[in-house]
Amino acid sequence: MSNVKPKSQNSLQMFIDKSRVDPLSDKVKDAELLLSSYVAAHDMPFAGMDHLTPVLARCFPDSKIAQALSLKRTKTKCVIKNVIGVHEK
């Protein structure tokens, strides 16, 4: 057994696809979280989000973040309940 060479091991880093990291996606998530927290802080109705996100996209046509927002009443409610609410307890 002394003449058996160990196999080379691959690093875990080779299994991580670095090209899948999308900074725009992170910025969109941050914007959705901020908008949801604004709705919660000011006790606004969730239905308003069905109209606000298209308005933001029209107001800021050059913003990739505003164009990528996908925040309607259901997602806003879930973010407030399951993300913001959990961390505020």
Selected residue with higher pLDDT from 21 and 26: 26
From the list 72, 21, 81, 78, the residue with the least C-alpha distance to 48 is 72
pLDDT, tens only, 2-17:
666 666 666 666 666 6
Q: What is the pLDDT of residues 46-65, one digit of tens each?
A: 999 999 999 999 999 999 99
Average pLDDT of 70-84?
A: 95
Q: How far apart are CA 61 and CA 75, in angstroms?
A: 23
Q: The whole model's pTM is what?
A: 0.73
Q: In 10 A of CB 39, how many CB atoms?
A: 22
At residue 17, the pLDDT reads: 65
